Structure formats: structure tokens, C-alpha cells
Copies of this chain bind each other. A is one copy, B any other.
Amino acid sequence: MLLPVIIAGGTGSRLWPLSRELMPKQFLKLYTDSTMLQATVQRLQGVNAKTPLVICNEEHRFIAAEQLRQINKLDHNIILEPEGRNTAPAIALAALTALNQGQDPILLVLAADHVIQNNLAFHQAITIATELATAGQLVTFGIVPTAPETGYGYIQRGAVCQNTEQAFYVSKFVEKPNKDLALQYLSSGQYYWNSGMFMFKASIFLAELRKFRPDILACCEKAIANTESDLDFIRVNSGAFAACPAESIDYAVMEKTNLAVVVPMAAGWSDVGSWSSLWEISDKDAAGNVHLGQVFQHSSSENYVFAETGIVATVGLQNAIVIQTKDAVLVAAKDQVQDVKNIVQQLKNAGRSEHFIHREVYRPWGKYDSIDHGNRYQVKHISVKPGEKLSIQMHHHRAEHWIVVHGTAKVTINEQEQLLTENQSVYIPIGAVHSLENPGKIPLELIEVQSGAYLGEDDIVRFSDRYGRH
């Protein structure tokens, strides 16, 4: 049995404005109706594997949990990193967690934000890798290159493996090449793209890590020794993990070990590293356009156009990316999308929030969307999932009006409980202790009108919170 380990730690700014720090790429529905994380799990259907371990950042925990819950794969299986330390420590945490549970499974390490179009080829590669990992090798999956890409590292293959002709010993890992070198690599047939996907026995990976980077292993052992059980999460010791050096598995282990083998894979893989790569792998119309949402086009071709809300119209537009979200629009030349990160930096420098957070904000109990605001007031659309409950709370500076527009709410104000249903409203004065719960079987939707001199999210005193957010 394989134990899939899914690394969901990125904060990809290259797909802004859809991807934001609090809602990065791996949690978005970029390519299918599932999120990238969900698709990564679903891709394993048919493989003899356990429920995956997912490793993500502390601040994404409720999003990861909700997305796994939606596909019935939430089972106390999310390891939270207090901060990112690159892939070597993340994988060490997963390996140690497995060993702590008295097992020594074969780990299948996957990134949560890749696309694989040919699932059959992917599963075939897994079968080959499983054989090699069982025999004690550290397997890396090498993507058969289809273009002279300068954005990826490459793996040069060595001799063919003894046990199977469908894998090779690793000759060496090479850095991102220039265009000429990439062309040579491509035509030689000896090189693969470094995909960041791996397979090995937990114990063997840890043994190799101890050999080459005992410091990393020591930190991870300390961090995992005192895990706290918190709802669906495995929470590592943040002090110990903070002391851990940040390093990729490639640098820490794969480039140093003698056990590395590469399994070639031609499975329509993409790391969706930019808007242009998303355009490349998406279905296009006759004019080469990808359009999602309410898009109207005239004399336009080879574009990727996404309208989240409202409409987007293009006239005479070629080779461009247009991404419209509730609070930000990006228009970029397709061959310059790598500079989207420059805009993200500009937004940071300007002290704005649009690089960090969407207008719609996810919470463990549901979500809210700020639909209007002005001097001394703010209007939110709040959605509460069935059975969920916001913290018991109080505000010093704002009163709130709640109007239920869908479903049923259980509202408690100063210990007075009442049920409200569609078209009913309630008023929460400044200073009143209140809570909101959806006791029903369908989503609760309500409009909240806040009124007061200060409306910041931090004007909240939490008395009790079932999600541990004191």
C-alpha cells in the first residue's frame, strides 16, 4: 500500500489575481471542476493507496480541510507547517508521522498544484516506481520533455535499471538551462524535466536524509515529537520547526544519494506555473481562445479570458491574458506573464490587500463576501454551512443587522436564543454577546449590515470557538 504525501504549501503569486496568499493555486479550480488539490487526490483513484497525508501551511488549514471533506478524504490527515521550509523538511515530517504510526509505507510524494492529463500513463509510471521503491531505490519521476523549456531543472539519465527497462539510474540533476542547452537536452533524448514527484520507503528516505542532512532530520524529529491533535490537523511544534533549515529534497537528498533512479513519464504533465501554461493545456476554440465565464469576443485570438463575475469583452486582442475577479483585473501579454509577480510586489509595496486576500473570505464555518462599504458601514453576505457555527463573540465598535435570505439561523444574543428563517431579521447592539449557527440541512445565507465608527476584523472578542480560534 502506498501512502500519498501531497505537498500543498505554495503561495503562487504567478497566477494572481485568482491565486492569492490566502487562497493559492493548489486550492483553485483552474483546470477542472475540482480544485487542484482535489484533482491530485482524485487522480489516484484505481491506485492501491491509503488516504493521503496533506502538508500545508497553518493559514490554509480550513481550506484544505474543507476541500478534502468535500471528496470524503478528510481523516485527521493534514500536517500543518507553521511556516514553509521547502520540500525536504515537509517530506521528513510526513515520513516521521508514518513511522510514528508504526508503519513504514512507500511514500508517493506529489505536488498539489500540478496537472496530469493522461492518468493511464501516470498510473503505469506509479506501478514501475513502486517496484523500484520496494527494492529500496529513491525514485524521481522524470517528465519526457516536449519543448526546450528553460523554466525547469532537468535530470540526465544514466544506465538502464537492472530490475526494469522502464527506468534509469540518475546520472545527474542539472539546473535550469539556457535556450541552447535546453535544445540540446531535448534532442539528446537523455534528459527529463524534474517534476518534483517522488517515491520511496519512508525509512530509506529518512536514512538518506540522516546521512546528508542530519540537521534537517533532527529539527523535524523534534517538531513531530510533540504534535498536537487539533480537529483534523496534525500540528507540529512550531519552535522546533522554525529552527529547521529550508531546503528542497533535490538539494538535500536526491542529488547526493546513490539510490536515485528516474522513471520517465509522458503523461501530459504541467506545473501550471503561469497563465500562459494554463492557456497551453486548456481546450481552445477555433481562434485559439480559452474563455471561462461571461466572455464576449470580436477579432480576438490566442487569448485566455476568465470572467469571475460580470462580463469581459475583448476587441482586436491577441495573445493576451485577461483575468477578472470581484476586486481586481489583470491584463497581460501572454509572453510576459512571468512578470505578474511584479504587480504582486507593487501591491505589497502599496500596502494593499489584493495580493493577499480575495473579496470572498473562507472560514471554517463557511465564507463571507464584502459586498458594500462606506463611511461607518459595511455590508457582508455571510454563508454558513449546515451544522456549522460561528464563534460566540462580541464587538466593541459595531452594531450588526442580520437578515436571513436563505435557510434557517439559530441566533443567540446575550444568552437569548431564537430561530430566524428567510425574510426575518435581528439586531445585535454594540457590546452584545452573540453567536450564529446553521442548525439546518441547507446552507444559511444572510446579509449583515455593520454600523459603527470602527469596522476592522480585529474588533472581535471570542468567548468560545469550536474551531480553536481563541
Contacts and interface: CB of A to CB of B under 8 A. Distances in A.
Interface of A: 17, 296, 298-299, 307, 310-318, 320, 322, 324, 326-333, 335-337, 339-340, 342-343, 346-347, 350, 352, 354, 369, 371-372, 374-377, 379, 381, 399, 401, 403, 405-406, 422-423, 425, 427, 445, 447, 449, 451-452
Contacts of A336: 299, 315-316
Nearest to A335: B316
Which 10 residue pairs of A and B lie closest in terms of their CB atoms, listed nearest first?
Answer: A316-B336, A316-B333, A377-B405, A315-B332, A423-B451, A310-B327, A313-B343, A403-B449, A371-B372, A298-B342
B311 A322 contact: no
Nearest to A344: B313
Given A296-B346, A315-B330, A327-B310, A379 B379 contact: yes
Contacts of A337: 315
Contacts of A312: 328-331
Given A371-B379, A399-B423, A425-B425, A315 B333 contact: yes
B311 A352 contact: yes
Contacts of A427: 425
Contacts of A352: 311
Given A381-B372, A425-B427, A449-B405, A342 B329 contact: no
A372 B406 CA distance: 14
A374 B443 CA distance: 13
B329 A315 contact: no
Contacts of A342: 298, 315
A389 to B, nearest CB: 22
A294 to B, nearest CB: 8
Given A313-B17, A331-B312, A377 B406 contact: yes
Contacts of A401: 401, 403, 425
A90 to B, nearest CB: 31
B327 A445 contact: no
A311 B340 contact: no
A313 to B, nearest CB: 4
A396 to B, nearest CB: 15
A361 B352 CA distance: 29
Nearest to A452: B423
A277 to B, nearest CB: 15
Nearest to A321: B315
B311 A354 contact: yes
8 contacts: A311-B354, A314-B332, A315-B333, A315-B339, A315-B343, A316-B332, A372-B381, A379-B447
- Tell which of A315, A324, A335 has the most Cβ of chain B within 10 Å: A315
A339 B324 CA distance: 21
Contacts of A324: 324, 329
- Tell which of A327, A330, A346 has the most Cβ of chain B within 10 Å: A330
A313 B339 contact: no
- Tell which of A296, A298, A354 has the most Cβ of chain B within 10 Å: A296
